[in-house]
Amino acid sequence: MHSEFVSPPAPGPQINVIVNQPEQLGRHCHRDWQDGLFSCCNDVKNCLLTAFCYQCMQCYMYGRYGECCGTAAVIPMAGVVLSVKHRTRHRIKGSIIGDCCAFSFCPPCALCRLYRDMEFVENMNGTLDL
């Protein structure tokens, strides 16, 4: 009787096939606002300051971005301009028309939300700058 011994094939280079690419958290990822438009009571101090001294608060926020405080006094709907700048810089979902609507129908709420998000970004990154 004759028996054959067959040896297994020699190990070769292994090929890994990637079926799904991992999602990158890069420049093109967008996040939501830190909280909602009507979440003013999440920061009562900011809510009261904005309600009773809207222009002062807006001026203060422009200053935090290194912009001239007077900008808020001379540009109609200045909150929209600052909101678009912040939203674009920090990749927040939304649109210019959405910002316009928020600042048209409830300017104090929109400014409060912007302030809270600016605080969130500063707490996470240590600065508003990228």
pLDDT tops 70 at residue 13: no
In a domain, 97, yes or no: yes
Count how many residues are written for the chain: 130
Range of the domain at 47: 43-124
Of 5-9, 50-54, 121-125, minimum mean pLDDT range: 5-9
Tokens of 76: 């109609």
Which tokens sit at 87?
């939203």
- Whether residue 99 lies inside any domain: the answer is yes
Rounded to 5 degrees, what are φ and ψ at 61? -70, -40
* 20 DSSP 8-state letter: S
Tens-place pLDDT, residues 81-101: 999 999 999 999 999 999 999
Both tokens assigned to 81: 């301009």
Asked whether residue 9 is assigned to any structural domain, the reply reads no
What average pLDDT is seen over the chain? 84
Which DSSP symbol is given to 92? B
Q: Is residue 130 part of a domain?
A: no
Domain count of the fold of the chain: 1
In this prediction the pTM is 0.75
Residues 115 and 50 sit within 8 Å (Cβ to Cβ):
yes
